[in-house]
Amino acid sequence: MASKAVKKIVNEKDKNIRKELYNKYVKEITPKHNWLLNLLKAFLIGGLISLLGQIFINIYLALGADMELAATYNSLSLILLSVVLTGLGIYPKLAKFGGAGCVVPITGFANSVAAPAIEYKKEGQIFGIGCKIFTISGPVILYGIFSSWLLGLIYYIYEFMIKK
Amino acid sequence: MNDDKSKMIGLQSIEFIKPPYIIAEGSIVGKKEGEGPLGLYFDKIEEDSFLGKGTWEEAESELMRQAVKIVMEKSGLKKEDVRYLIGGDLLSQLIATSFGIEEFDIPLFGIYGACSTMGEAISIGAILVEGGFADKVLAITSSHYASAEKQFRFPLNYANQRPSCASWTVTGSGAVIISKDKPESNEEVKIIIRGITTGKVVDYGIKDAMNMGAAMAPAAYETIYQNFKDFAIEPDYYDKIITGDLGAVGKDILNDLLKEKGYDASEQLMDCGVEIYNAEQQDTHAGGSGCGCSAATFSSYIIKQLKDQSWKRVLFVPTGALLSPVSFNIGNAVPGIAHAVMVESVE
């Protein structure tokens, strides 16, 4: 199977067809991740982070906060924890195992801000941290804000123009 | 007399009439490389990944500085004895090289060939020496895991997963001194550079910057194939054909491609990236990469095997992936390049 593909590649004169053939062959022979296993790991780690969040909320509720305040404190606690674990180099290890389970929760966002801040600190407060802190999270912030604006607009049109 | 013309052989190669000698070699690596299978062969293993410096870039420069010191000390040469220094690294504008070698006051040719730089440096060095333009040239390259990650991928502590075909940038530097004259020591075995085959930029259209082995394998294949053709030899002319950092995936592809052209080199093929780590235990996925991978392996393990005459003829083929974060973002594929150096041990 592989040798047939290779034969075509080495004898192909048209460079574009060769590129296509080679990419196909490489895709076949490159080892792949186990999708199901990765999914389960992500589910486990993501779930544990969410469980931790619930524990935080319950603690703050027990301390007398209302639901909204407890949720805010929970976010802050998770962010703090993630930043500390990022600084200690533990969060990337967790992500190596948990993948998207570590990236999707708010802890992943915090990591994506803290990691460049640490790395670029040595290039100065302005050009280092200032310019580079959002290199990874920048797109999330930009398109996050943009999509909330867009949804707000749609809501406004529906609420005040169509519903009336 | 027309020596110049007769040195060119085939399409892309040079066969030296008075082969230059490699009279000294020096290597320094990081902790992880020191713990790998080749750990015993390196001159120095540095435990501190910052090498006592404040930044990754300066740490990489320090690797180079120390590699120069080691190779100078081993050769017994003074810095005035070295006519040129030819070096390069992976960082933008070659800052690891320029800041690393500044204090030695040796004229510098800074070169870039991505991870193939050591092959390029030795090639140019050998040409200068054999052509009579220099009597001693120092060839050196380096790479550092953290500075490469920062430049090409993500900050070190960013949480992401590496695919199984990804490679691990070697923290290390390797240097050799190429000389017109034999080494002064009484060692019977001498290492010579018989010839070179210079690679072209080869693009087979791989766009996945994480699968660099697959991107570079066609370049290695074309250079090695051309070397066989130009010198009219078969793979068994060599004891080993050693690529730089194709890794496990790229090495298999190279073997397949050569076989299809009628050259079965499966006995000879070896890859520095595969040898330098224990992929399973050290979790390095496809293997080591970076300028330092081939340079440090060459200036330690490979030269040692040649000196012991376990191998007599080696084709050393460092491989480079010619990408930058910009070329990747604007949608370019990842072309490769490979430079072959024929290294032999003679009595």
pLDDT score for B1: 46
E strands within B222-282?
240-243, 269-271
Residue B6: strand pairing partners: none
- For residue A79, being part of any structural domain is answered with yes
Q: Are B13 and B232 in contact (CB under 8 A)?
A: no
Banded model confidence at residue B199, pLDDT cuts 50, 70, 90: very high
**Together in a domain, B274 and B329:** yes
Q: Total domain count for chain A?
A: 1
Is A120 domain-assigned? yes
Q: Is B27 in the same domain as B105?
A: yes
- Are residues B59 and B133 located together in one domain of the fold? yes
> Do both B226 and B145 map to the same domain?
no
Phi, psi of B8 (to 5 degrees): -75, 135
Inter-chain residue contact A2 with B206, CB threshold 8 Å? no
Q: How confident is the model at residue A4 (pLDDT cuts 50, 70, 90)?
A: confident
Of A3, A115, A116, the CB nearest to B256: A3
Question: What is the identity of the amino acid at B148?
Answer: A
Q: Is residue B122 part of a domain?
A: yes
Same domain, yes or no, for B136 and B220? Answer: no
Q: Are B283 and B254 in the same domain? A: yes
Helix A15-29 vs helix A2-11: crossing angle, to nearest 10: 160
Residue B82 domain flag? yes
B29 with B140, same domain: the answer is yes
Which of B120, B149, B179 terminates a domain? The answer is B179
Residues B175, B194 within the same domain:
no
Domain check: are B139 and B46 in the same one? yes
> What whole-number distance in Å separates Cα of residue A44 and Cα of residue A141?
27
Phi/psi at B153 (5° precision) = -125, -110
Beta-strand ranges (E) seen in chain B are 8-9, 13-15, 21-30, 44-46, 84-88, 108-110, 136-143, 168-169, 172-179, 190-197, 240-243, 269-271, 288-289, 313-317, 319-321, 336-338, 340-346
The answer as to whether A16 is a domain residue is no
Distance from CA of B158 to the nearest CA of A (A): 5
pLDDT tens figures, A45-79: 999 999 999 999 999 999 999 999 999 999 999 99
In a domain, A66, yes or no: yes
Say if the Cβ atoms of B214 and A96 lie within 8 Å: no
Please check whether residues B263 and B122 belong to one and the same domain.
no
Q: Does A107 fall in a domain? A: yes
Q: Does residue A55 sit within a domain?
A: yes
Name the burial class of residue B341, with classes exposed (0-12), middle (13-18) and buried (19+) by CB atoms within 10 angstroms of its CB. buried
Tell me phi and psi for residue A17, to 5 degrees: -65, -40
For B15, how many CA atoms within 13 A lie in the half-sphere containing its CB?
11
Residue B6 lies in a domain: no
Contacts of B214 in chain A (CB under 8 A): 26, 30
pLDDT digits (tens, 9 = 90+) for B118-169: 999 999 999 999 999 999 999 999 999 999 999 999 999 998 888 888 999 9
Average of per-residue pLDDT values in chain B: 95
| Residue B147 domain boundaries | 20-179
**B204 shares a domain with B143:** no
Residues A85-144: pLDDT tens digits?
999 999 999 999 999 999 989 999 999 999 999 999 999 999 999 999 999 999 999 999
Is residue A87 a part of any domain in this protein?
yes
Question: Which of these three, B179, B198, B225, is where a domain ends?
Answer: B179
**Which tokens is B185 given?**
């020591």
Distance CA B342, CA B238 (A): 9
pLDDT > 70: percent of chain B: 99
CATH number, residue B230: 3.40.47.40
Q: Do residue B261 and residue B328 come from a single domain?
A: yes
Mutation target among A45, A96, A119, A140 for the B interface, most CBs of B within 10 A = A119
Question: Of the candidates B153, B179, B205, which is a domain's last residue?
Answer: B179
Asked if residue B5 is part of any domain, the answer here is: no
Specify the number of domains making up chain B: 2
Query: Is residue A124 a part of any domain in this protein?
Result: yes
Rounded CA-CA distance B18/B99 in Å is 34
pLDDT digits 0-9 by tens, B293-306: 999 999 999 999 99
- Tell me, yes or no, if A12 comes closer than 8 A to chain B by beta carbon: no
Tens digits of residue pLDDT in B202-241: 999 999 988 999 999 999 999 999 999 999 999 999 999 9
Q: What is the pLDDT of residue B120?
A: 98
Identify whether B108 is part of a domain.
Answer: yes
Of A16, A18, A91, the CB nearest to B159: A91
Pairing of strands B21-30, B190-197: antiparallel
pLDDT at B5: 58
Domain hosting A123: range is 35-133
Chain A residue numbers touching B156 (CB-CB < 8 A): 89, 92, 115, 118-119
